[in-house]
Structure 1
Amino acid sequence: MIRMYVGAMLMYMLIGVPIYLLCRFLYMKLKKRELKWGKEILWFLFVMFCIGVASQTIIPRWYMTIGADGRQQLYIQHLEGIRSINLIPFSTIFSYLAFSNNQVSNWNQVSLINLLGNVLVFVPFGMFLPILWRNFRKFSALFWMSICIPLFIEICQLFIGRSTDIDDVILNALGIIFGFCLYKILQSLLQKRLVGMKD
């Protein structure tokens, strides 16, 4: 399952590479901005990451097939009907972790991927945001963004026939906050190293 998701994300990222590079080149030319390779690499990685996440969350599913006339046809499933909505916090999480008769109930690879995946996939947001924007170097600003990003995704999923779950918002937000903590730790270690080099 992990290979399937990563493969699907990479496909969208590869499609996005030339589009992003062209748009970024035109933007830099029009704005007459000085090229800073370090910053450009960070922007490139951030945009590719966003495309990857969007491909698995808010981009409608699509597939190509051969019609009766022998021509290729593109189908976009932009609306399949609302599958399920959970507005009760921790309901889904507890269902994955529920115990019955001293055995784990509902605990399997899918549950593990849903729990850990929803956290880990959003960790890079918590690192990219404070690196690219100074405003997000404060926890208060980052905290609100950690809620807004997953909430936006879940609202979008209402209109493309995917399940909407408040627990996804909680897990995604935890991932972003965890990423921010990693950013702070790495920043602190880097500062200590720089001070040590000066001494």
Structure 2
Amino acid sequence: MNSRKRKALRGLGKVLFVLYIGFLIYFLIFSDWYGRTGEMQEYHYNLVLFKEIKRFWQYRHQLGFFAMFTNLFGNVIIFIPFGFFLPMASKYRSCFATLFWSFGLSLCVETFQLLTKVGSFDVDDILLNTIGGVAGHIIFVICVAIRRRHVRKR
């Protein structure tokens, strides 16, 4: 791949990364989903790892598929683009860097929710978000390998 195409691809990655971060901030902090329209009367938080994951799985039939899916898989899925676009748009290309930044961003979001009492602080969300970021990085690495193999065949 020539230098011009590489720069264009990196520029596209940066634009998509900025748009994704904007979406993420809106969705996780300001969206009307899950009671984020105002301050809660009684604030709930979870500091016990796997507590909410177990609860959502155990009571999945009472809570419904949508609630279970959005909590368990939604927290992973929403961070997959972060893990994909981070190495595309920055110099941080290692899996460890993606793990670190995914964890850091998730911790910042959860801490913001704790301080503002909008949403709820949950260590399980931090774990699931970090897993999503690493999954996105793995998808990025696979895509790069496929692209390199395709370019070599030409």
Band of TM-score, shorter chain:
0.7 to 0.9
Structure with the higher strand share, 1 or 2: 1
SS in structure 1 of the partner of residue 131 of structure 2? helix
Which one has a bigger Cα radius of gyration? 1
Contact 2:10–2:88, Cα closer than 8 Å, also in 1 = no
Where in structure 2 are the equivalents of 1:21-170 lying within 5 Å? 37-59=8-30, 77=38, 79-80=39-40, 83-98=43-58, 104=61, 106-134=63-91, 136-161=92-117, 162-170=119-127
The structural deviation recorded for 1:157 is 0.5
Count residues in correspondence: 143
TM-score of the superposed pair, with normalisation by structure 2: 0.81
TM-score of the superposed pair, with normalisation by structure 1: 0.64
The structural deviation recorded for 1:105 is 5.3
Q: CA offsets per residue over residues 83-138 of structure 1, 9 Å max, x none?
A: 21101001101111127xxx95545311111111111111011011111112x211
Greater relative contact order, per chain length (Cα 8 Å cut-off, separation 6+): 2
CA distance in 2, matches of 1:187, 1:196: 14
Gaps of 5+ in 1: 1-35, 62-75
Identity across matched positions, percent: 26
The structural deviation recorded for 1:60 is 8.1
Q: Give 2:150's aligned residue.
A: 193
The structural deviation recorded for 1:172 is 0.4
